[in-house]
Amino acid sequence: MTGKVFLVATPIGNLGDMTYRAVEVLNSVDRIACEDTRHSSILLRHYDIHKPTFSYHKFNERKVAEEIVELAKNGENIAVISDAGMPIISDPGAILVSKLIECEVPFEVIPGASACVTALALSGINGSAFVFAGFLPEKHQERINYVTKLARAEATLIFYSACHDVNKDLADIFSVLGERKVAICNDITKKFEATFRGVLGEIDIPEPKGEFVIVVEGGALENELNSLPLEKHIEYYLNTGVTRMEAIKLVSKDRGLSKSEVYKMQLTDKK
């Protein structure tokens, strides 16, 4: 008989945020796959859960995903947890779920705490629609390109950020998006939880420590940009550091035109 795999959300800071159902599932499975077994041992001891654990992280994700599938096929029930929050959300898990679906192995998601949703509620910024953008890329130009692609979204934008990156992230986001309302949530649910609210370009974090979630007001840039002369529209994106080809591609998306139509309009404007 085939076993089942459980993706289990864990607290994002306060151990008291573990759900009853999550504890029941972790107590019922045969083994627990942990992003960091040492980190997870604190949670498991707190809830008096004594099950064999093994590592499942981004460096062994593909290999261990196959092993988890085989264990389930052999009848074992396996729980998967990350260091905090829901597996897959900026954590390992996506490869495993794809493999489970492919192999028709049953799996279940046990919901719980979420840093991005909690930060959105704390921010005071419109929560009717949002885009979870995760962590920014490491390289500067890739970061700028990434935020530029999000600039047209009217939905609230949510980024994760580490303490050593948060002020750099804020600066790069501001360089593309300009002045927008922002909330920076630090160490959510932990003892020294704090939320800093202000405007991009006017706020940074003194001596940042811990983990951060950056919540940025959505924009109505698309209509504003479309009212610009075509070359000014292209220049807007060029000023963010993208190539002319990339800028034309972004302009074509803004205006609902093909790239060839934008090229033709360019030629006409230059005559």
Is the pLDDT score of 154 beyond 90? Answer: no
- The per-residue DSSP string of 248-267 comes to HHHHHHHHT--HHHHHHHHH
- % of the chain exceeding 90 in pLDDT: 72
Read off φ and ψ for residue 50, nearest 5 degrees: -125, 90
Quick one: fold of 116-219? 3.30.950
Q: pLDDT tens-digit profile of 211-249?
A: 999 999 998 655 577 778 888 888 888 888 888 888 888
Position 231 scores a pLDDT of 84
Is the pLDDT score of 117 beyond 70? Answer: yes
Position 232 scores a pLDDT of 84
Average pLDDT, the chain: 91
Position 77 scores a pLDDT of 98
The mean pLDDT of 189-210, rounded to a whole number, is 94
Position 270 scores a pLDDT of 59
Cβ contacts of 137 within 8 Å, gap of 6 or more: 143, 146
Superfamily of 5-113 according to CATH = Tetrapyrrole methylase, N-terminal domain (3.40.1010.10)
- Provide the residue type at 132 as one letter: F
Position 142 scores a pLDDT of 93
- The model's confidence at residue 100, banded by pLDDT at 50, 70 and 90, is very high
pTM attached to this predicted model? 0.81
**Cβ distance 80 to 67 under 8 Å?**
no
How is residue 85 written in tokens? Answer: 């929050």
Task: Spell out the domain ranges in the chain.
Answer: 5-113, 116-219, 223-260
Distance in angstroms (rounded) separating the CA atoms of residues 17 and 239: 45
Position 74 scores a pLDDT of 96
Q: pLDDT tens-digit profile of 11-59?
A: 999 999 999 999 999 999 999 999 999 999 999 999 999 999 999 998 9
Position 240 scores a pLDDT of 83
Distance in angstroms (rounded) separating the CA atoms of residues 259 and 262: 5
Position 163 scores a pLDDT of 95
Position with higher pLDDT, 268 vs 52: 52
The mean pLDDT of 91-104, rounded to a whole number, is 94
Is the pLDDT score of 267 beyond 80? Answer: no
